[in-house]
């Protein structure tokens, strides 16, 4: 019944149109933004996620109690509430991103070979979710850093964002 009610709330919100609708997700649920606009969702721990069109976010069972695990297929900006001793772990097709409290952007549609993480504030640890013949060590990002990965050519690279790239990503939130 709980999932039916949540599905109904999400369906009504999606049908109402408009940009950046506020939707609250519960633990053990998923949401797909099938609209043409960005939607803001709130997680059980108070963190906020602005999801781009075509993006899917899965919230693990026990989120906020036993874990803070998420799975993303798409593009989103995360504003994560810190929780001492309980990091948020976001998984995409190719990356595992560990967060304590920060603001960052992820572009990770499963259909694309490449993924990108842009850190606006805070600190992240990013590692490949698969074993490769090259570098398997995690990258630690600080404000203004970005990581790009392409599984097809087995490349993961960390760089500093240019001021124009940083402003472009900040404008998305």
Taking only the tens place, the pLDDT of each residue in 129-162 is 888 887 788 999 999 999 999 988 888 999 999 9
| R_g of the chain, CA atoms, integer Å | 16
111-125 pLDDT, tens digit each: 999 999 999 999 999
Beta bridge partners of 75: 107
For residue 21, the model assigns a pLDDT of: 60
Kindly list the structural domains of the chain, giving each domain's residue range(s) and its CATH number in brackets, ordered by start: 2-172 (2.60.120.1440)
Task: At 96, give phi and psi (nearest 5°).
Answer: -125, 120
The predicted model scores a pTM of 0.82
């Amino acid at each position: 019944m709980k999932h039916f009610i949540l599905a109904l709330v999400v369906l009504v919100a999606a049908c109402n149109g408009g940009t950046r609708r506020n939707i609250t997700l519960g633990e053990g649920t998923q949401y797909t933004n099938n609209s043409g606009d960005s939607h803001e969702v709130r997680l059980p721990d108070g963190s906020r996620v602005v999801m781009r069109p075509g993006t899917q976010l899965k919230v693990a069972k026990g989120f906020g109690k036993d874990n803070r695990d998420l799975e993303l297929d798409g593009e989103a900006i995360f504003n994560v509430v810190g929780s001492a001793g309980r990091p948020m772990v976001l998984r995409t097709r190719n990356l595992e991103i560990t967060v304590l409290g920060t603001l960052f952007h992820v572009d990770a549609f499963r259909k694309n070979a490449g993924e990108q993480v842009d850190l606006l504030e805070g600190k992240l640890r990013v590692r490949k979710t698969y074993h490769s013949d090259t570098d398997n060590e995690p990258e630690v990002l600080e404000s203004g850093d970005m990581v790009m990965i392409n599984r097809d050519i087995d490349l993961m690279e960390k760089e500093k964002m240019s001021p124009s790239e940083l402003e472009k990503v900040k404008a998305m939130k």
